[in-house]
């Protein structure tokens, strides 16, 4: 199985090298040759994608304990494929601008203006994106502050509830003490008249 994978690797390396060279040649070719070269690169890119699919299937058949190395190589090949497609898109945009200018008799100023306009729009989008990120960060920080405030309020509420419970207990204890003192005063008042009578009978003032 690994020999099949390595065979696909060699084919992919050769094919991507050819594609890279052709993409670099596209801007320097005459219009007729450019058209043919673009079509040829499109075909080879499809072949490279098919090779990647075959390599991916081979990697899935590898035992998990040995799959890591091949998976890393596949990620590298996919990144290379993505770069080739990006470079080809750029060359096609340049080719399309040139064809349009030839058809319209443009001197290239319009194309430059369009590029400048696109760059300006890109910068605006980046600034808007940064502002959105800053706003999101502020929202996250505000949410964190609000969460902390809620937690603090919750703790304060618990403290107040405990203080109220202690106050109720204190009130209850005071009520018990008050009743005990009242009972003691009543007993004292009830005993004093009898003591006075005994003292009078005994000749005491």
DSSP 166-201: HHHHHHHHHHHHHHHHHHHHHHHHHHHHHHHHHHHH
* Global pTM exceeds 0.85: no
- 95-133 pLDDT tens trace: 555 554 554 444 445 556 666 667 666 766 666 566 666
The overall average pLDDT reported for the chain is 77
User: Which pLDDT score is estimated for 108?
Assistant: 47
Q: What number is the average pLDDT over the span 8-37?
A: 89
CA nearest to 6, candidates 49, 58, 53, 46: 58
Instruction: Report whether pLDDT(70) > 80.
Output: yes
CA distance 145 to 197: 79
Q: What number is the average pLDDT over the span 72-95?
A: 87
Between 166 and 57, whose confidence is greater?
Answer: 57
DSSP code at position 64: G
Between 26 and 14, whose confidence is greater?
Answer: 14
Question: Residue 143's CB: how many other CB atoms inside 10 A?
Answer: 10
pLDDT band at residue 12 using 50, 70 and 90 as cut-offs = very high
In the three-class reduction of DSSP (H, G, I as helix; E, B as strand; rest coil), residue 123 is classed as: helix
In terms of average pLDDT, the best of 24-33, 51-60, 94-103, 143-152 is 51-60
Q: Which residue has the tokens 């937690």?
A: 151
CA nearest to 91, candidates 38, 18, 19, 48: 38
Residues near 171 by beta carbon (within 8 Å), at least 6 away in sequence: none
Instruction: Report whether pLDDT(194) > 80.
Output: no
CA distance 5 to 119: 42
Q: What number is the average pLDDT over the span 31-54?
A: 91
> Long-range CB contacts (< 8 A, 24+ apart) of 116-125?
none
User: Which pLDDT score is estimated for 107?
Assistant: 47
In terms of average pLDDT, the best of 25-39, 107-121, 136-150 is 25-39
User: Which pLDDT score is estimated for 44?
Assistant: 94
Burial code (b: 16+ CB inside 10 Å, e: under 16) for 97-127 equals bbeeeeeeeeeeeebeeeeeeeeeeeeeeee
Instruction: Report whether pLDDT(137) > 70.
Output: no
Instruction: Report whether pLDDT(188) > 50.
Output: yes
Q: CA quadruple 98, 103, 108, 111: dihedral positive or negative?
A: negative
Half-sphere exposure of 180 (CA within 13 A, CB side): 6
Q: Which two tokens stand for residue 87?
A: 């470079």
Residues near 91 by beta carbon (within 8 Å), at least 6 away in sequence: 23, 26, 27, 38
């Amino acid at each position: 199985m690994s020999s099949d994978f390595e065979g696909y690797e060699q084919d992919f390396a050769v094919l991507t090298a050819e594609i890279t060279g052709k993409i670099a040649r596209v801007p320097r070719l005459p219009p007729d040759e450019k058209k043919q070269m673009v079509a040829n690169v499109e075909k080879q890119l499809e072949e490279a994608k098919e090779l990647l699919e075959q390599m991916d299937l081979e990697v899935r058949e590898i035992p998990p304990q040995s799959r890591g190395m091949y998976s890393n190589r596949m990620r590298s090949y996919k990144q290379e494929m993505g770069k080739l497609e990006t470079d080809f898109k750029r060359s096609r945009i340049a080719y399309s601008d040139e064809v349009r200018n030839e058809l319209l008799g443009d001197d290239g100023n319009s194309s430059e203006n369009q590029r400048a306009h696109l760059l300006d729009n890109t910068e605006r989008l980046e600034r808007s994106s940064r502002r959105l990120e800053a706003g999101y960060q502020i929202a996250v920080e505000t949410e964190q502050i609000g969460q902390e405030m809620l937690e603090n309020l919750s703790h304060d509420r618990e403290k107040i509830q405990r203080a109220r419970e202690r106050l109720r207990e204190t009130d209850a204890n005071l009520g018990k003490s008050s009743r005990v003192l009242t009972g003691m005063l009543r007993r004292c008042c009830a005993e004093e008249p009898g003591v006075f009578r005994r003292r009078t009978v005994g000749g005491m003032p």
